[in-house]
Amino acid sequence: MKKLFNITLLLLAAVFILSCRNGDDDIPEDIHEHDEIGKVVLTLTNKADATDIQTLNVIGGVADGHLHLHQGDTYVAVLDFQIKHDDHYHSSSEIKEEKDHHFITFNPANADIKVIRASDDIERTDGQKLGMKTEWTITSVASTGKMNIKLIHAPTSVNQNYPSASNQLGQTVGGESDVDITVDAH
């Protein structure tokens, strides 16, 4: 009887040990696999002077310069979100491909910059424009002017016409920031 008890105990211990093994194979994969954006390129072209082109590279939240904005001028602003591979960056098509899962908001500080989403900007299936291409009209800007740009992933709802249809800074409910950068704009 003692021998049967020992064998039973040994079998139970073996089952317990095997059930406690590392279950890495059982971990579900991330549903939203994406490359992390490492660089944002912001290009502004003055609508009145096509030779007035400004390009900022923002890597790790740090811009390589600042924008020189002129009161009364309107600029076409184009955002390019890039991912790093080895030692170089390349444009990510993920934002365009997953347009319904992204939205861009703008927030000027110490500057009166009106933002309108361009007619040829990427349109989401809900009719809202993404914000990859916009027009910025400069009403006034202080020497401490800044522009905050956020790329929101998986917002519950979006409103391109916030605070108004004539100033489409954009607003979201829910989601999380894939990109949150602030550039000097004066």
**Residues paired with 60 in a beta bridge:** none
Q: What is the pLDDT of residue 46?
A: 98
Rounded CA separation 104/160 (Å): 9
Q: What is the pLDDT of residue 87?
A: 84
**Average model confidence (pLDDT) for the chain?**
88
Chain centre distance of CA 25: 31
Among candidate residues 139, 135, 136, the one with its CA nearest the CA of residue 71: 139
Would you write out the chain's pLDDT as a tens digit for each of its 186 residues?
555 555 555 555 555 555 555 554 554 444 445 578 999 999 999 999 999 999 999 999 999 999 999 999 999 999 999 998 888 898 989 999 999 999 999 999 999 999 999 999 999 999 999 999 999 999 999 999 999 999 999 999 999 999 999 999 999 999 999 999 999 999
Among candidate residues 55, 71, 70, the one with its CA nearest the CA of residue 183: 55
CB atoms within 10 A of CB 26: 6
Q: What is the pLDDT of residue 109?
A: 97
Q: What is the pLDDT of residue 88?
A: 86
Q: What is the pLDDT of residue 168?
A: 98
Among candidate residues 143, 81, 62, the one with its CA nearest the CA of residue 109: 143
